[in-house]
Structure 1
């Protein structure tokens, strides 16, 4: 029986063979996408579709991860329909979740203890969201939750909802967090006013607002680190 080499495989199958022989880390981004896309059409191979998709996202996995299924379909790449876009979006989301360290019960002593988790969780969202981390007396995280979602340019967080959730969990500390889809990490005047409002309201309930962290694909900004609390 003739022994087939990787050159004998169809273009779309070669990345699968390479992964089996050398492991996933040996594959390029285009080859990994080729496996997710699975098959091409009469116009483009799966590998060609993957390359077109990467070109459309400026060869940036961060920008690709920020795309919705609709965004990918709207690129009008022949052979990239909704089903393939869903598979790619799901895979990228798994990658984001894998990067996020387990956060529950982690003890917080500085912004660095949570900034990486918050950035990995929120940085690729195309809309602005407001989230909270609730802490117990030992400064351990007991709960994480997105409490409001807005548009591309902003979101509104209700202090009453935040404090209600803190009371329900018997939290003694709160870390506020929101993302800036634009990448800009500088807090706005509204961000500063909201932080003061929540901090003042929480103090009447003996709950301490320990930080407000802004995250984006550029990094993070900590109100506590900058002496703004």
Structure 2
């Protein structure tokens, strides 16, 4: 009827939940939130018109943790209902940003005196990779990180690595020391016989051009194995 108040559409029930979750995060920080709640906070921005709590819980149930969700491949993320390719890509951007922050904490700093930060960075970059990945950290004369490059990617248990490519990059970057690192998707960081032989080959090739190999780190799901600590180099 003329003069009647327009009927207001009630807000979806999850709007109040979103406000409360944001307020809890603002007051107490991320440590006060479960992994699925932290994931909810991010999904609020990408899935606007839907209750994302069950979606966040399903993602955590499928992959195990917040870190494992954002590290998961796009094709596996989209197996979860309501996770489109765009939403999956947003999650991958979050992972890239987190890795970049870790890299910034050690870039152009003496890594041997920032070893804990280096280990944290390597873990965040490689811990949940589903395939083996071989990275080389190139250092300058003051042992500052000048480059971090992936020089081998492969299957779930092998990444082809060519010592000549490592030496070529070290020369091009004017690097005087390197740290080798790769992940074991199985989760067990124990060095294999092939890992040990490959490391010996790289050390000998590097020695010929006066490049020092400080360590070889193998990243597992929970732990990191250091060749130097294990007496393997």
Deviation for aligned residue 1:189: 0.6
2:163 to 144, 159, 163: 159
Residue 66 (structure 2) aligns with: 61
Distance, in Å, in 2 between the alignment partners of 1:65 and 1:216 is 17
The alignment partner of 1:13 has SS state of helix
Residues 36 and 87 in structure 1, CA contact (< 8 A), matched pair in contact too: no
CA offsets 1:183-213 (integer angstroms, 9 cap, x no match): 1110111100000001011111111111111
Deviation for aligned residue 1:19: 4.6
1:30 aligns with 2:44: no
Q: Which segments of 5 or more consecutive residues in structure 1 lack a partner in the other structure?
A: 1-7
**Alignment of structure 1 residues 68-87 onto 2, 5 Å:** 68-75=73-80, 77=81, 79-87=82-90
Q: Which segments of 5 or more consecutive residues in structure 2 lack a partner in the other structure?
A: 1-9
Residues 37 and 50 in structure 1, CA contact (< 8 A), matched pair in contact too: no
Higher-helix-fraction structure: 2
Residue 4 (structure 2) aligns with: none
Residues 130 and 147 in structure 1, CA contact (< 8 A), matched pair in contact too: yes
Residues 37 and 46 in structure 1, CA contact (< 8 A), matched pair in contact too: no
Residue 114 (structure 1) aligns with: 118
2:130 to 126, 130, 133: 126
Q: CA RMSD in A?
A: 2.4
Residue 55 (structure 2) aligns with: 49
The alignment partner of 1:109 has SS state of helix
**Alignment of structure 1 residues 130-141 onto 2, 5 Å:** 130-141=134-145
Residues 11 and 47 in structure 1, CA contact (< 8 A), matched pair in contact too: no
The alignment partner of 1:155 has SS state of coil
> Greater CA deviation, 97-106 or 195-204?
97-106
Q: TM-score under structure 1 normalisation? A: 0.82
2:202 to 195, 198, 203: 198
Deviation for aligned residue 1:51: 2.1
Q: CA distance change for structure 1 residues 27 and 36 in 2, over 3 Å: closer, same or farther?
A: farther
Runs of 4+ in 1 over 6 A off after TM superposition: none
Residue 4 (structure 1) aligns with: none
1:173 aligns with 2:182: no
